[in-house]
């Protein structure tokens, strides 16, 4: 606080008292803010020049808490100058104003509670919006449970749907724009399912040329740490990259992976160094969710495309081993020493077939999954012809020429496709 010049002190001290001393009743009314504006100005003008009256006022001013004029039943504050109305202190602590403060606080609390669940899936929303706006995105967006989609006759082409039964079914799913991400659930084999936000082929190529592929986390219901795996140059923060996310990966993990690995993965996301990236890559292959979490990893192509068949996981998939175990599709990168569950749908898987980075898995009730990128993203297919929908179990999958697949059912039926699952023919 700046000091006034000393000459000001002297001149204030030298000032003669202005007018007669106000009586005790007027001073009392002044202290209690009960004077009219005109009277108040007169009293203040006198007080400014009268040391004795200032002393009386100071001594007769009680603490705020005991001020009788602040009592609700006695408060009668006469109108004060308008310029001081905003600054009036005693009023805002009185009940009428506190009432509104309490109401405002209640609204904030309620709004916070209502908004809390939404905060858990901000990335999902961002991706949904992004996918919806993307002209090259696949046209199909299914948000229905897997068992419903399985009964559908029309085969989905680029994008398929997963289940949306997070708690009841073993196959969890989250609809993300045109992608539904099925997620294996349950204590023994919690995992994550990856969903694919399809890119146009051109964008994929551009992305792989740029070499910037980012892996990020999808915040889903029980969000778990995300793993940043990159074959490119940098790893970016998830919030900044969501809008640009192109592909969502769900990578189920075996239950044996320790929490420490998750921490390492989390740390890797904050360390965009080469070492951190390499550190993040390895756990990404064995990523698991410790608490039935649904974790998606986003692979982002910047500026250019990526044929995901050449992406990191796809490259690794050449060395991967696959098996069906207890109705789940599992993958191993270490010659079978450890396995991670990739698919754990509601209906058990019975068979699988691989060809390079292309993996097909079939199971009960016509359950059929396909991945073109070594298991990073999966598409649910619903084989059907004009007359019939495949609803029986798929016991074998035979892969022939590129794009040609044959499904075998227990009754001996065979369902063939020569265009990667777009159209089917029953024999």
Partner 1 sequence: MPKPAQTGLGDQQVAALHERCQAEIYGVDRAQFANILREILEKYLPEASSEEAGEFCGGLRLEELALARACAAGNERAWQDFVGRYQQKLHAMALHITRDSVHASELADSLFADLYGMSTRDGIRHSKLVFYTGRGSLEGWLRTVMAQEFINRYRKQKRVVSLDEQTEDGAQFTAPDPEPVIVADPRLTAATDQALAELSSEDRYVLAAYYLDGRTLAEIARTLGLHESSISRRLDRVSTALRKRILACLRDRGMSRAQATEALETDVRDLQVDLRSRLTQESGAKAFPGGKVPAPGAGTDGSHV
Q: Would you tell me which residues interact with partner 1 (CB under 8 A)? A: 1-13, 15, 23-29, 31-35, 41, 44-45, 47-49, 51-52, 54-64, 67-69, 74, 76-78, 80, 84, 87-90
CB count in 10 Å sphere of residue 248: 31
Give Cβ neighbours of residue 58 (< 8 Å, ≥ 6 apart): none
Residue 58 or 108 with smaller CB distance to partner 1: 58
Nearer Cβ to partner 1, position 66 or 411?
66
CB-based contacts of 145, cutoff 8 Å, min separation 6: 163, 164, 165, 169, 173
Rg (CA), the chain: 36
Classify residue 89 as exposed, middle or buried by CB count within 10 Å of its CB (0-12, 13-18, 19+): exposed
End-to-end Cα separation, the chain, in angstroms: 93
Measured from the CB of residue 16, what is the shortest distance to partner 1 in angstroms? 12
* Least distance to partner 1, CB of residue 26, Å: 7
Q: Residue 31 or 329: which CB sits closer to partner 1? A: 31
Q: Smallest distance, Å, CB 93 to partner 1?
A: 10
Q: How far is the CB of 101 from partner 1 (least distance, A)?
A: 16
Residue 253 has phi, psi (to 5 degrees) of -125, 150
User: Can you tell me the distance from the alpha carbon of 216 to that of 204, in angstroms, rounded to the nearest whole number?
Assistant: 17
Q: Which is nearer to partner 1, 53 or 213 (CB)?
A: 53
Q: How far is the CB of 82 from partner 1 (least distance, A)?
A: 13
Helix axis angle, 37-47 to 24-31, nearest 10°: 110
What are 331's strand-pairing partners?
322, 340
Can you give 318-337 as a three-state secondary structure string?
CCCEEEEECCEEEEECCCCC
CB of 79 to partner 1, least distance (A): 11
Closest approach of Cβ 84 to partner 1, in Å?
7
Backbone angles phi and psi of 173, in degrees to 5: -155, 150
**Comparison of 24 and 139: residue with beta carbon closer to partner 1:** 24
Minimum CB distance to partner 1, residue 95 (Å): 17
Considering beta carbons, is residue 61 or 270 the nearer one to partner 1?
61
C-alpha span between 386 and 389 (Å, rounded): 8
Choose between 25 and 167: whose C-beta lies nearer to partner 1: 25
**153 in Cβ contact with 133 (< 8 Å):** no
Q: How far is the CB of 64 from partner 1 (least distance, A)?
A: 6
Instruction: Name residue, tokens 């692979």.
Output: 299
φ, ψ of residue 163 to 5 degrees: the values are -90, 155
Q: How far is the CB of 227 from partner 1 (least distance, A)?
A: 51
Q: Which of 388, 427, 376 is nearest to 204 (CA)?
A: 376
CB 250 within 8 A of CB 195: yes
Minimum gap (Å) between residue 104 Cβ and partner 1: 20
Name the residue nearer to partner 1 (CB basis): 16 or 167. Answer: 16
Nearer to partner 1, 18 or 291 (CB): 18
Nearer to partner 1, 47 or 262 (CB): 47
Residue 259: CA count within 13 A, CB half-sphere: 2
User: By C-beta, is 8 or 110 nearer to partner 1?
Assistant: 8
**By the 8 A CB rule, do 120 and 218 touch?**
no
All residues at 6 or more sequence positions from 280 whose CB lies less than 8 Å from its CB, including other chains? 215, 227, 228, 229, 230, 235, 264, 265, 268, 269
Q: How far apart are CA 408 and CA 423, in angstroms?
A: 16
């Amino acid at each position: 606080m700046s000091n006034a010049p000393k000459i000001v002190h002297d001149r204030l001290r030298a000032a003669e008292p202005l007018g007669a001393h106000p009586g005790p009743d007027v001073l009392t009314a002044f202290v209690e803010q009960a004077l009219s504006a005109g009277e108040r100005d007169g009293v203040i003008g006198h007080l400014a020049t009268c040391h004795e009256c200032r002393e009386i006022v100071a001594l007769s001013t009680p603490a705020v808490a005991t001020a009788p004029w602040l009592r609700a039943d006695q408060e009668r504050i006469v109108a004060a100058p308008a310029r001081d109305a905003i600054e009036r202190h005693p009023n805002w602590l009185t009940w009428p104003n506190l009432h509104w403060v309490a109401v405002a606080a209640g609204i904030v609390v309620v709004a916070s509670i209502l908004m809390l669940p939404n905060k858990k899936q901000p990335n999902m929303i961002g991706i949904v919006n992004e996918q919806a706006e993307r002209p090259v995105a696949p046209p199909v967006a299914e948000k229905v449970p897997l068992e419903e989609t399985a009964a559908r006759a029309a085969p989905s082409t680029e994008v398929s749907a997963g289940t949306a039964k997070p708690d009841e079914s073993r196959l969890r799913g989250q609809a993300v724009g045109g992608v539904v991400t099925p997620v294996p659930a349950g204590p023994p084999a919690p995992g994550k399912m990856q969903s694919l936000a399809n890119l146009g082929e051109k964008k994929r190529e551009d992305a792989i040329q740029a070499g910037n592929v980012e892996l990020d986390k999808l915040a889903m219901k029980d969000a778990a740490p995300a793993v940043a795996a990159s074959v490119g140059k940098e790893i970016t923060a998830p919030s900044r990259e969501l809008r640009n996310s192109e592909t969502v990966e769900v990578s189920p993990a075996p239950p044996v992976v320790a929490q420490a690995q998750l921490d390492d993965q989390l740390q890797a996301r904050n360390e965009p160094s080469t070492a951190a990236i390499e550190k993040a890559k390895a756990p990404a292959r064995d990523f698991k969710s410790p608490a039935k979490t649904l974790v998606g990893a986003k692979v982002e192509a910047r500026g250019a495309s990526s044929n995901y068949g050449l992406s990191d996981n796809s490259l690794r998939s050449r060395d991967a081993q696959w098996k069906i175990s207890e109705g789940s599709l599992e993958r191993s990168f270490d010659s079978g020493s450890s396995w991670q569950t990739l698919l754990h749908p509601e209906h058990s898987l019975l068979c699988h077939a691989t060809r390079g980075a292309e993996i097909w898995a079939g199971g009960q009730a016509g359950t059929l999954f396909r991945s073109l990128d070594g298991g990073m993203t999966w598409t649910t297919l619903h084989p059907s012809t004009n007359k019939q929908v495949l609803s029986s179990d798929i016991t074998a999958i035979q892969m022939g020429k590129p794009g040609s697949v044959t499904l075998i059912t227990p009754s001996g039926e065979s369902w063939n496709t020569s265009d990667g699952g777009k159209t089917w023919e029953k024999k």
